[in-house]
Amino acid sequence: MNDLIAYVANNPSIQDFFTNVVTGEITLITGIFWLLFAGFVSMIAGAIGGILLAGKDLGYELAAILGSLLGPTGVLPVATIGLVVLKFV
């Protein structure tokens, strides 16, 4: 654990990444990070929504799988457009 902390403390690119994330600066790396984060959250929300909407009809596991696969379909393009607009406005 101490080696990891020492590596992060001595690596300026990782420090820049964390600084950009905390301050809200959108760079290529932070944009990719936020897209991955949005995809992960939309997968969880899609699975929950699939269970609530079609759990009894399709079975809870299949509804969760389909919801987690189809959830990011609407989120990722909109998140990409939003990040581009925030970067250039």
Domain limits at 29? 2-88
Q: Model confidence over 10-57: pLDDT tens digits?
A: 888 889 999 999 998 999 999 999 999 999 999 999 999 999 999 899
- Total count of domains within the chain: 1
Of 13, 40, 41, give the one whose Cα is nearest residue 28: 13
CB 42 within 8 A of CB 76: yes
> How sure is the predictor about 59, in pLDDT bands with cuts at 50, 70 and 90?
very high
Q: Half-sphere exposure (CA, 13 Å, Cβ side) for 88?
A: 5
